[in-house]
A and B are shown apart, each in its own frame.
Chain A
Amino acid sequence: MRYMVAGQDRLLTQMRRGTLEYCVLALLRQEERYGFDLVRALGSVDGMVTSEGTIYPLLSRLRRDGLVSTTWEESPTGPPRRYYRLTPKGHKALGEFVQEWQRFRDAVDRFVEGGER
């Protein structure tokens, strides 16, 4: 028998979904990447994504919101690839999130890691 707060599964799913988009933006902060590469980078970290395909609806959404843009570039091996890059709006959104996230994470850690220090 597992003991869980009501709705815990749902909360974890929502937390993952809400933060995933910033992980995508963060992966694009230094360099542009093509979809496959981006998805592999996210998938290589345990607990981040359930299946690779679910990232594409997010990418589509980020593009529609103007946080990322795409360009086609030739690939040395196969067909041309769609590269994603951060727009200025995307940079700004990421910067704001990072600040808030650090505050939030520190606050939660303070309680869940064995009381105040």
Chain B
Amino acid sequence: MNGTRHREVGEYLRRLQRSMKDLPAERRDEIIAEIEEHIDEDLAGQPTATDADVRNVLERVGDPDEIAAEARERFGVRATTFGTPWLEVIALVFLVIPFLGWIVGMVLVWVSQVWTTREKVMATVIVPGGVIASSLLTIGSGRGSLGPSEAAVLSITLFLGIPAALYLGIRLRAATR
């Protein structure tokens, strides 16, 4: 514009840039450029704008986080977490402990907003799925009581929490990068 852009506008655009930094660069730049044009257009219509007027314009444009959330929704990008995702790490530790630990881990996994529902379902069915499959095998073998080998298979399946945790860990890294 005429080189006298208001300081608050520059500040606003930088906040917007930060809020959208996890979006594809091409989309992000396009959206920011258009919002910048929008603000310029609005201010061009009020040449005697005071600081309060400028703030008003920015308020109407809206909260950068809200715009970024809308962009994620429109482009199917999931929200990224910055820093260490403690809840998720603790969930993974619990998951590898059979029985009670696994249950606690699963609750934490479902509480987390980082994994997608699909990933949560995948991770949840691994352990019960393994136990059911090995039980069926044991019953299918035709003997009424558990032999030592069947018991071994059954107890190994209880540690299927480990691959479940591995799977979620890999997805977690992808989501927090």
Q: Does A56 contact B (CB under 8 A)?
A: yes
Whether A56 lies near B31 (C-beta < 8 A) is yes
Query: From residue B33, how far is it (CB to closest CB) to chain A in Å?
Result: 9
Which residue in chain A gives the minimum CB-CB distance to B68? A57
Interface string of B7-33 (1 = CB under 8 A from A): 000000000100000000001001100
Stretch at the interface among B36-44, B105-113, B169-177: B36-44
Whether A39 lies near B38 (C-beta < 8 A) is yes
Whether B34 lies near A17 (C-beta < 8 A) is no
> Could you say which residues of chain B place their CB within 8 Å of the CB of A51?
60-63, 66-67
Whether A53 lies near B41 (C-beta < 8 A) is no
Q: Does A50 contact B (CB under 8 A)?
A: yes
Q: Does A95 contact B (CB under 8 A)?
A: no
Known A36-B42, A53-B67; judge A82-B34 contact (CB<8 A): yes
User: Number of B residues contacting the other chain (C-beta, 8 Å)?
Assistant: 25
Q: Determine the distance from Cα of A50 to Cα of B73 in the docked complex, in whole angstroms.
A: 15
User: Number of A residues contacting the other chain (C-beta, 8 Å)?
Assistant: 22
Which residue in chain A gives the minimum CB-CB distance to B75? A61
Interface string of B58-85 (1 = CB under 8 A from A): 0011111011001101110000000000
A-side interface mostly: helix
Interface string of A43-75 (1 = CB under 8 A from B): 100000011111011111100100000000000
- Name the contact of B70 in the complex, choosing from A39, A54, A64, A82 (C-beta under 8 A): A54
Chain B residues in the interface with A (C-beta under 8 A): 1, 16, 27, 30-31, 34-35, 37-38, 40-42, 44, 60-64, 66-67, 70-71, 73-75
Q: 23 A-B residue contacts at CB 8 Å?
A: A35-B34, A35-B38, A36-B42, A50-B62, A51-B60, A51-B63, A51-B67, A52-B61, A53-B16, A53-B62, A53-B64, A56-B34, A57-B70, A60-B30, A60-B31, A60-B74, A61-B75, A78-B40, A78-B41, A79-B1, A79-B37, A79-B40, A81-B41
Chain A residues in the interface with B (C-beta under 8 A): 17, 35-36, 39, 43, 50-54, 56-61, 64, 77-79, 81-82
